Structure 1
């Protein structure tokens, strides 16, 4: 019997946290040229997580420099307040944290009503069951493989069983083919196979892309090949 996860294509997605913030337009253009599938913006509010990062105007200014889709990972306490601005800035998917939403079902519905697609992120200590009752409203579940808030952290391999749990939940509700599973945190050549084999098909890479001595294009193709081999 074929693996339902294999029907979802592997997608290599950069976090722009390691990029040169003084030339983000050039950076996103370079990422598109390297073959990424979309670009993730890690939006941090200084409260849900310690850092502050990208406001909607920054993302809007970069939007015209490439054509791949943008998604915003909203590591914030007020996603409902911020959603419209990030969608208008050019983000076609908004990822909210289950831990930050008082009414997660309402928040996902609001994002969909605004014309974007909703996704939910789970921090390491949050059980997979936190998304069970919003699977009809999302097109992706993000399993964090580090604690949110900082780039360059080490991958937490004990999150792989949670990825499998999410996959099983999607199978149970008949959405295994059309809801993506994303992982974010510590993804690189040595860790991507474990995440992909567990069921993830959208793989966020930051530091690993930028530190590849052979450049961004090699890094993207190498990670894609490793993920596809793990899912074969």
Structure 2
């Protein structure tokens, strides 16, 4: 895949006008909409759930990239599929049987993402590179926006990219956390081909230019 995808996180949007912000992202050239779902258990924050995804779905035609930062994701994947998720990303740390979880998402005809947090070794995710659409490397501790990127996590990106060369050349390797106009170069150099950014997009005077800048 040649083009770097940009998936702005609506965690940084104005929740009072979320539909409008989603439309603005699409108009500004976003490839996907990154939806951070948090439950207050797996992560210390609470964001939004299925009703919000359903409400904002009509505002954009581009894929909804739904990142489930929740303690029991398999309980909810069917509902998120119904309300408009196109890609469903679960945390490896939250499921005991990873192959079964991957199969469950595929059974809903949705694309599978597998995420790992900063403290999880990359070796934990490498066996599944061949089976998923996307691997998400968290470059901050999940739960809050606006954090600084943990540069050491980018080594995991490179390891996943190398594995994908052997087993899944179409794999999307996404990075999420502390990505902005300055740090994105390191993420891209490590091999990431999908960038999640919230603050860097929503705080920009020119959203379209900010999105384009994240492509490198």
| TM > 0.5 | yes
Distance 1:58 1:185 in 2: 22
CA deviation profile, 1:108-146 (whole Å, cap 9, x unmatched): 110000110111001111111112222232100001110
Task: Verify: 1:105 aligned to 2:126, yes or no.
Answer: no
Q: What pairs up with 1:157-196 in 2 under 5 angstroms?
A: 157-173=151-167, 175=168, 177-196=169-188
The match for 2:212 is: 221
Distance 2:2 2:141 in 1: 26
Query: Is the 8 Å Cα contact of residues 7 and 65 (structure 2) preserved in structure 1?
Result: no
Distance 1:101 1:157 in 2: 26
Distance 2:127 2:159 in 1: 14
Structure 1 moving runs of 4+ over 6 Å: none
The match for 2:58 is: 64
Query: Is the 8 Å Cα contact of residues 8 and 178 (structure 1) preserved in structure 2?
Result: no
CA RMSD of aligned residues (A): 1.0
Report the number of matched residues.
Answer: 216
Of residues 48, 51, 73, the one that matches 2:45 is: 51
Task: Verify: 1:9 aligned to 2:3, yes or no.
Answer: yes
TM-score, normalised relative to structure 1: 0.90
Gaps of 5+ in 2: none
Query: Is the 8 Å Cα contact of residues 8 and 180 (structure 1) preserved in structure 2?
Result: no
Task: Verify: 1:141 aligned to 2:132, yes or no.
Answer: no
CA deviation profile, 1:56-104 (whole Å, cap 9, x unmatched): 1110110001111101100011111010011111011100101111111
Q: CA deviation at 1:9?
A: 2.3
